[in-house]
Structure 1
Amino acid sequence: MSIDRRYLMYTQEENITAREYILQAFLELLGTKEFESIFVKEIVRKAGISRSTFYIHFQDKYELMNYLREDITSRFLAFYDRDREADFLSIKTTTLHICHHIFQYRYFYQHEFNLPEYTRKLSDALAEKLGKVYEDRGYAIFASFGTIGYLTYWVKGNFSMDLEKAAEDLAKIGVTDWSR
């Protein structure tokens, strides 16, 4: 069963490449199977491509996962590159985009948030970004681990809270002055 090309999450472009079909198929498989149980044969069948096409783009499923990890993580961290002097409304909009991102790549995050090493690296990278915003290393660490902890809780709770409510709560956490 190949993926329905009309509903690709990974890209918005009209000219979708074989690499993007591979990424989408892999993400969909992560939603139904553990990473260890996914085989290249299944990925290519779901993507509707040949094995040789897969191997043009990736050496194996581990290289594919590393590529996705780097790409999706950099997309997440890019939300924190925006101007931090924004008002609360802008923060609400940004957190809504962050929650949309997490939900869009939910199968990836459901897998990765089970890995303490990934969660720690993501929290550390976010703390580095937030350190430039808050100019207080301790507060940046607290805020980054709190943000990732909140998102992990939301993901592991199977998104039981709707996206808008999660974004609203995350925005409130982001603007709270914890120094009082």
Structure 2
Amino acid sequence: MSKVDRSKVDRRINKTREAINKALIELMSEKNFENITINDISERANLNRGTLYLHYSDKYDLLDKCIKDHLSNMLKFCMLSKPGEERLNVSNSPLPMFQYFEEHFLFYSSMLSNKGITCFREQMNLVVINGITERLKTGEINHGHNKEVVVQYMASAFVGVVEWWIKNNMPLSPQIMAQQLWDIFDGNYSLVGEGRIPSGS
């Protein structure tokens, strides 16, 4: 197969998977995951069951991969600054992250409100914990605070705020949400040392 042909096949595969994922998310906004069938998903995606099974073993496999893809993308918009930057910067994050949540509102709204998905919040919290840990692992927490306690606190606070924001249909703009969080974390000098991450973090 030539590179051109392979590229066409890859685009076709990606387009099919996008249609399947979109169908699942739309259905989850309408009813509990446990009540969704493969037929429901294939019909909504305008595909036959056989095509869906070429990509996913069942609806649980589809859900698992859909969650992993979204959380992986979310991690790229971690609320803390990029490595090498000394200061938490609202223009870098958490603003892009809230914009990401806004763009993918239907997915996160469905996951956080769907009674059939009990583990999503925990998975999201773990991803945020890992992201914050990566940013802080080479620095030191000021004023005698244990780094693990700080990471758990920041992650829980962030995920809780995001969950409130999404479940209430984004009552404030991403810009306001980002600024509010920035003010809170920046103001808590005992956690981040007057809004700064120690050099090398």
Aligned equivalent of 2:52, options 51, 54, 57: 54
Name the SS for the 1:92 alignment partner. Answer: coil
Aligned pairs for 1:45-84 within 5 A:
45-80=43-78, 82-83=82-83
1:116 Cα deviation from its structure 2 partner: 5.5
Specify the structure having the higher radius of gyration (Cα). Answer: 2
Aligned pairs for 1:103-118 within 5 A:
103-114=102-113, 117-118=119-120
Match of 1:122 in 2: 124
Match of 1:167 in 2: 178
Structure 1 unaligned regions, length at least 5:
1-13
CA contact (8 A) 1:154 1:160 kept: yes
CA contact (8 A) 2:25 2:110 kept: no
Distance in structure 1 (CA, Å) of the matches to 2:52 and 2:111: 23
CA contact (8 A) 1:30 1:107 kept: no
Structure 1 moving runs of 4+ over 6 Å: none
Match of 1:6 in 2: none
1:87 Cα deviation from its structure 2 partner: 4.2
Aligned equivalent of 2:168, options 130, 133, 157: 157
Distance in structure 1 (CA, Å) of the matches to 2:40 and 2:74: 28
Distance in structure 1 (CA, Å) of the matches to 2:76 and 2:97: 10
Match of 1:4 in 2: none
1:64 Cα deviation from its structure 2 partner: 0.6
Report the CA distance shift for 1:20/1:34 in structure 2 as closer, same or farther (over 3 A): same
Aligned equivalent of 1:145, options 132, 136, 156: 156
Scaled by the length of structure 1, the TM-score of the pair is: 0.78
Q: Deviations over 1:128-164 (max 9, x none)?
A: 3212323422211111111001000101112122232
Greater CA drift, 56-65 or 117-126 = 117-126
Higher relative contact order (CA 8 A, sep 6+): 2
Name the SS for the 1:159 alignment partner. Answer: coil
2:83 corresponds to which letter in structure 1?
A: D
1:102 corresponds to which letter in structure 2?
A: F
More helix by share: 1
Distance in structure 2 (CA, Å) of the matches to 1:157 and 1:33: 18
CA contact (8 A) 1:92 1:171 kept: no
Match of 1:99 in 2: 98
Distance in structure 1 (CA, Å) of the matches to 2:51 and 2:187: 50
Match of 2:135 in 1: 133
1:152 corresponds to which letter in structure 2?
A: E
Structure 2 unaligned regions, length at least 5:
1-10, 140-146, 192-201
Distance in structure 2 (CA, Å) of the matches to 1:26 and 1:116: 17
CA contact (8 A) 1:41 1:51 kept: yes
CA contact (8 A) 2:71 2:127 kept: no
The CA RMSD over aligned residues, in Å, is 2.6
- Residue correspondences, number: 167
**What percent identity do the matched residue pairs reach?**
22
1:138 corresponds to which letter in structure 2?
A: V
